[in-house]
Structure 1
Amino acid sequence: MILISRHLIPKRYAGLTLWPVIFLKTPELRNDPVLVNHEKIHLRQQAELLVLPFYVLYGLEWLYGLLKYRDIHRAYRQISFEREAYTNEQNPNYLKTRDSWRFTYYFFNAS
């Protein structure tokens, strides 16, 4: 399900996924297949981890990155869930061929 909310999404971002909803900043973004695919990848990750552990791991990875890089944006981009989503967001068939728990590849193979 996709909902529109200008207020829920941080300024620098266009979308946000909170199981089971994808929030987009503007209605026009529904037509952005790359953004929607990116957020659908997050839905799959969240489902695999039964939702709550996803958010715990996401937050811990972000905090680790913040301590390591001292840069909010870089810490965000280094989160394994984000690396999987950004790497594969332009592949419309990714979720059809994706192996279960694929985000672990990105977790154990830090860039």
Structure 2
Amino acid sequence: MILVFKHFFYKNYVGLSLWPFIFLKNDTLKEDEYLINHERIHLEQQKELLIVPFYVLYFTEWIIRSLYYFDSYKGYQNLSFEREAYSNEKNLDYISERSTFGFIKYL
């Protein structure tokens, strides 16, 4: 289910997946098939890790990478979950082709 919340996002962020929802910054983003695919990849990651462990791992990896790079945004960009989603967002068949725990090869 896709929901739109204009005031929910920080800076340049436009989409967010929180099982089982995709939140978007504005209504026109519903037409961005790559963004929607990116967020659906995150939903698959969340589902396979049974949701709560996904958020724990995501946050833990973000803290570690932010400290490593001394930059929270660069830490975010280098998260295994984000790297998998960004690398495959233009492949609209990726979710059906994706192997379980596909994010691991992006660690």
- TM-score scaled by length of structure 2: 0.97
What is the Cα deviation at residue 105 of structure 1? Answer: 1.2
Provide the residue aligned with 1:83 in structure 2. Answer: 83
Provide the residue aligned with 1:58 in structure 2. Answer: 58
> For 1:20-35, what aligned pairs fall within 5 Å after superposition?
20-35=20-35
- The number of aligned residues is 107
RMSD: 0.7
* Structure 1 segments of 4+ aligned residues over 2 angstroms from their partners: none
Structure 1 position 68 matched with structure 2 position 71: no
Structure 2: 5+ residue stretches without partners: none
Structure 1: 5+ residue stretches without partners: none
Provide the residue aligned with 1:15 in structure 2. Answer: 15
User: Identity rate of aligned residues, in percent?
Assistant: 51
Aligned counterparts of 1:14 and 1:61: Cα–Cα separation in 2: 21
What is the Cα deviation at residue 40 of structure 1? Answer: 0.2
| Alignment check: 8 A CA contact 1:9 1:23 kept | no
